[in-house]
Amino acid sequence: MKRPAGRKGGAPKFSLAHLTVLGCAPPEATYIAAAAGYDFVSLRIILLGLSGEPDYALARNPELLRKTKRALAETGLKVHDIELARIADGVAVKTYEPALQTAAELGARYVIASVWTDRRDYASESLAALCDLAKAAGLNVSLEFLTWTPLANLQQAVEMCLGVQRHNCGLLIDTLHFNRSQVTLEELDALPVEIFHFAHVCDADKEIPSAREDLIYTAREARLDPGQGAIDLGAILARMPTVAYSLEIPNLQRVKEVGYAEHARLCLENAKKYFCARAAG
């Protein structure tokens, strides 16, 4: 059963996901998003602990936070969500509290979470605690499943999301991970409307990599614009209620060729073309 997709008038709202322009600090990402015509910007202000990862932890960088607030004020853009609250062994979710408070200062609505531990009871307890911290900051927690993590598919994410029994806990559906984990459209049809928070939207080649490192490479460095790959985005998103589409389309090769600003502009331009074409019929 398809649900109504898009907003009144047929035009979805788009956010620029930080991973798309991760080489840009939050102020620059905000200016780029505004210049390209995005409705929102999404910021990665919680470190993942990856090698060579840029440090945009605004909670401990007052000057960068000030510049980010100025960029938002000057552009009129809103922060849609922040990331990434990883639930992992040895990580206390309490340490995310400063980032959550900063997100609230920036006017964000959602914080993205993902699970990186096999200990399901621990993961559930940590997710519940994160939801409580987020609620105190006026935020919702959007749980995402990734194909190379212990929480690897929609069914597992739904079970954990519903299991914590927190009203501010819902799902983030990433079209790449949806495709790579081979979730069926019928699984979306069975879910309550209120569980959907928003979507990460991108396209990808038809072939699904079997190796973990290849899955990670595509997700972090080589996604495609809507309509440039083989994922049936329209069929996926038609099963969801009206949500914002955060364009998470890292493509390092194109960035090398045209730069971050033009890359972000092309992501949005091609996404709008794709959805306009589908709306037309």
pLDDT, tens digit (0-9, with 9 covering 90-100), for 230-245: 999 999 999 999 999 9
pLDDT at position 279 = 75
Please state which CATH number belongs to domain 18-280: 3.20.20.150
pLDDT reading at 31 higher than 70: yes
Q: Rounded to whole angstroms, how far apart are CA atoms 257 and 95?
A: 38
The model's confidence at residue 9, banded by pLDDT at 50, 70 and 90, is very low
* 68 and 27 Cβ atoms separated by less than 8 Å: yes
Q: Rounded to whole angstroms, how far apart are CA atoms 120 and 151?
A: 9
pLDDT at position 280 = 66
Report the DSSP beta bridge partners of residue 169. Answer: 141
Closest CA to 44 of 57, 30, 31: 57
pLDDT at position 168 = 98
Q: Rounded to whole angstroms, how far apart are CA atoms 39 and 244?
A: 9
Sign of CA dihedral 163, 194, 175, 141: negative
pLDDT at position 49 = 84
Count of beta carbons in the 10 Å neighbourhood of residue 159: 12
Mean pLDDT of 69-77: 98
pLDDT digits (tens, 9 = 90+) for 110-127: 999 999 999 999 999 999
* 250 and 14 Cβ atoms separated by less than 8 Å: no
Domain ranges across the chain: 18-280
pLDDT at position 4 = 43
Report the DSSP beta bridge partners of residue 251. Answer: 222
pLDDT digits (tens, 9 = 90+) for 171-209: 999 999 999 999 999 999 999 999 999 999 999 999 999
Both tokens of 140, joined, read: 């919702």
Mean pLDDT of 26-46: 98
Both tokens of 93, joined, read: 């979710």
Q: Rounded to whole angstroms, how far apart are CA atoms 173 and 156?
A: 13
